[in-house]
Structure 1
Amino acid sequence: MLDVRNVSRLFGTKAAVDRISFSVERTGFVGVIGRSGAGKSTFLRMMNRLTDASAGEIRFEGRDILALRGAEMRAWQSQCAMIFQQFNLVPRMDVVSNVLHGRLAHRATLPSIFGFWPDDDVLKALAILDRLGIAEQAAKRAEALSGGQQQRVAIARALMQDPKVILADEPIASLDPMNAQVVMDTLRRIHDEDNRLVIANLHTLDTARRYCDRVIGMRDGRIVFDGTPDQLTTGVARDIYGADASFSETATSTSIEALGTRGDDAYARELLA
Structure 2
Amino acid sequence: MLELKSLTKCFGANMAVDNVSFHIDRPMMIGIIGASGAGKSTLLRMMNRLTPATSGAVRFEGQDVLALRGAGMRKWQSECAMIFQQFNLVPRMDVVSNVLHGTLNRRSTVASLFNLYPQSDIHRAIDILDRLGIAGHASKRAEALSGGQQQRVAIARGLMQDPKIILADEPIASLDPMNAQVVMEALRRIHDEDGRTVIANLHTLDTARRYCDRVIGMRAGRVVFDGSPEQLTTGAARDIYGADAGFSESATSTSIDALERPDRAPIPA
Map of 1:251 onto structure 2: 255
Map of 2:41 onto structure 1: 41
Moved more, 111-120 or 93-102: 111-120
Query: Does the CA-based 8 Å contact 1:234-1:248 persist in structure 2?
Result: no
Mapped to 1, the partners of 2:29 and 2:120 lie a distance apart of 30
5 Å-filtered alignment, 1:50-199, equals 50-199=50-199
Query: Does the CA-based 8 Å contact 1:177-1:256 persist in structure 2?
Result: no
User: TM-score normalised to the size of structure 2?
Assistant: 0.93
- C-alpha RMSD of the superposition: 1.5
Is 1:228 the equivalent of 2:232? no
Aligned to 1:124, what secondary structure does the other structure show?
helix
Letter of the 1:251 counterpart: S
Map of 2:2 onto structure 1: 2
Structure 1: gaps of 5 or more residues:
261-273
Mapped to 1, the partners of 2:154 and 2:88 lie a distance apart of 7
Aligned to 1:81, what secondary structure does the other structure show?
strand
Letter of the 1:51 counterpart: T
Map of 1:23 onto structure 2: 23
Mapped to 1, the partners of 2:243 and 2:195 lie a distance apart of 36
Mapped to 2, the partners of 1:202 and 1:104 lie a distance apart of 28
Letter of the 2:126 counterpart: L
Letter of the 2:41 counterpart: S
Mapped to 2, the partners of 1:248 and 1:66 lie a distance apart of 39
User: TM-score normalised to the size of structure 1?
Assistant: 0.92
Mapped to 2, the partners of 1:240 and 1:76 lie a distance apart of 31
Residue 44 of structure 1: how far off its partner (Å):
0.2
Query: Does the CA-based 8 Å contact 2:206-2:267 persist in structure 1?
Result: no
Mapped to 1, the partners of 2:266 and 2:54 lie a distance apart of 36
Structure 2: gaps of 5 or more residues:
260-264
Any idea what the Cα deviations from partners look like across 1:180-230, whole Å, max 9, x if unmatched? 000000000000000001000000110000000000000000000000000
Mapped to 1, the partners of 2:118 and 2:195 lie a distance apart of 27
Between the two proteins, the alignment pairs up a number of residues equal to 259
